[in-house]
Amino acid sequence: MSFDLLIPFIILLVLVIYLIYTRTKFEKNIVDLYEKKFDEWKEHSTHNEKNDKKCKQLVGLVFKEEYNITIEMIEDNESVKNSLQQGKYKIKDK
C-alpha cells in the first residue's frame, strides 16, 4: 500500500527540484544581464560627462545710467577684462 504513494511522491519531488533549479538559473541570468547593462550605462554616462559644457559664471553686472552703460566686475579676472576690452561678448535678449 505504501508503494502506491511512493511513485507520485518521487515524481513530485523531481518536479519540485527541477523547478527550483530552473528558477535559480533564470534569476542568475537576469542578474547577469542587468549587471552587464549597468556597466554599459556607466561607460556611456562617463563619456557624456566629458563632453558637457562648462557652467556659466557671474563675473559682472551691467547698468545703464542715463546715456552711459557701465559694467561692474564682481571678481578681478584678467581674461574677462581682456574679453570685454576686445569686444568678445554676445548680447542675448530674453
Q: What are residue 68's DSSP bridge partners?
A: 65
Mean pLDDT of the chain: 85
Lowest mean pLDDT among 14-28, 40-54, 78-92: 40-54
Which residue is associated with the grid cell 505504501? 2
Give the sign of the dihedral formed by CA 77, CA 78, CA 81, CA 83. Answer: negative
| Per-residue pLDDT tens over the stretch 61-76 | 888 888 888 888 888 7
| Per-residue pLDDT tens over the stretch 36-64 | 999 999 888 876 656 556 788 888 888 88
